[in-house]
Structure 1
Amino acid sequence: MDPTVSDFLDSTEETRPASAEDGSPRHHRAKGEPRFPDGPQADPAGSHFERRIRSFQPRRSRVTTGQADALQRLWPKWGLDIDGRRTLDLAELFGADLPVVLEIGFGMGEATAQMAADDQGTGILAVDVHTPGQGNLLNLAERNSLTNIRVANGDAIILLREMLPPDSLNGLRVFFPDPWPKKRHHKRRLIQPEFLDLAATRLAPGALVHCATDWEPYAEQMLEVLSAHPAFENTLPDGGFAPRPEFRPLTRFEGQGLDKGHVVNDLLFRRVQHRDQHTPGD
């Protein structure tokens, strides 16, 4: 097993004393020195935007040496920090004029890499704050020669609101978001009317919104808010949940849940045409 190092070190924390294999002292990070100088920042948007109730919780976790290497080498090429200070040109970002799908929360990235491999004509802009997962997805992209993946670090709300042009996305994927099961935390759930208002401005007409969760109360809330929103329509004529489509891989996490009897629900909604647009002949 690869040796591991602490992730998300506090800015005032220093590394523990250690020695290299030749007996010489290892480099000790000074206070405030970033963990990955050429990799993702700890808080890319900083204090430039108002603090709000966030739907995600950064996790203190462990980064393998392989993931750390990928972050150092590949982040300048395929990664970006969500700082909210520029508008992205997606054609420039991907180096090709690809339709782009935004994926919010990708875990360790296995499903993301599989979907990118299965549809290399679509760009995937994958957002997460989990550093080990970012490094793992970069590793998978390099190993499988996947040039249609870009990894974004930070708050997806700031990315949508500040950095993406209107109608620039051809899809939105939210797979197994944090369900925030306690009632007092329901306000932290991502799929809310306000989030859909924002997402609708960045999704082109016809764009597919695909959500999946194994938490049934959250699935019911997702179905309710998506069905009620005027910018989206259920792709199922009779409404309700959709069978898992073949293009969404079965993840290891999902398989474990199914083995325990969990019910996984998929929701497939489509961005409807803008009200100020008319089809030919109208």
Structure 2
Amino acid sequence: MCFVDLEKAFDCVPWGALWGVLREYGVPGPLIRAVRSLYDRCQSLVRIAVSKSGSFPVMIRSSRWIGSQPSVKRPGWGSSMVPIPTLIYGHELRVVTERTRSRIQAAEMEGAETKACFPDMCELLEEFGAMKVKQETMETRLVETENQVLELKNKEASKVAFSAATTGRGDVGPYSTESTIVYNTVITNVGNAYNQQTGIFVAPVAGMYYFTFFYHAGGHVPTGLVLVKNNHYIISTTDHQTSYDGADNGGNAAFLQLQQGDQVSIRLYANCQVWGGNYRTTFSGVLLYPL
């Protein structure tokens, strides 16, 4: 049997305020209702040996007792007093509830027919236990769902491949300064890591990548392309100007270990040019595996 201790706290405590304090301390609603039921139309009786008195209401006083425990008169038993059960603090309810639950479980295992608490309290405890199990099950399912979503996101992020080409009429270049070539026509762009407006590829995940670039150009002007990673030259391909060679073709390739956010592009050297039409000057890349 559980009571909230008013004796040790104050001479008089508003019960409505007490329920509010219990809620603020995180006591579940079913337990608060169980405690409130102890103060609502409580009945008791006295048993001596095999004799029992009639039921009588238990009146819990809010005034401080000095030197003795609170008690109530026993109707029909003269002027003798019956002590009220010992009271406990609200924050001890959890401990007492666990003890009561253990006693109930032990009694059920032994086949006992008598429960160790009020019927309303037992019902509320069972309801609270079922709610706790349901909550734990939902939390487990939520964690599993989050892991599945994260796994799917990682799989999607690991799919990266693109190919793009320069299209249009005429040459690209020559320019007086080094310039990034914008491959304006996208052939494929899985993962959308290549930007056809800037000509720059941005690694969506860390991993090992493979890049290739090819060009077609006329031989009457020099040609030079360089693959750049974060403004650092990696590999290049060039061809000198000749008067007898009508066309030039070239390219290069490299494996690159990139971190998320690294940028890769192709630059045209100053005073060089390539042919910009017919899908002959291209830039491609693919994620081999994430790291």
TM-based fold match above 0.5: no
TM-score (norm 2): 0.18
Higher strand proportion, which one?
A: 2
TM-score (norm 1): 0.19
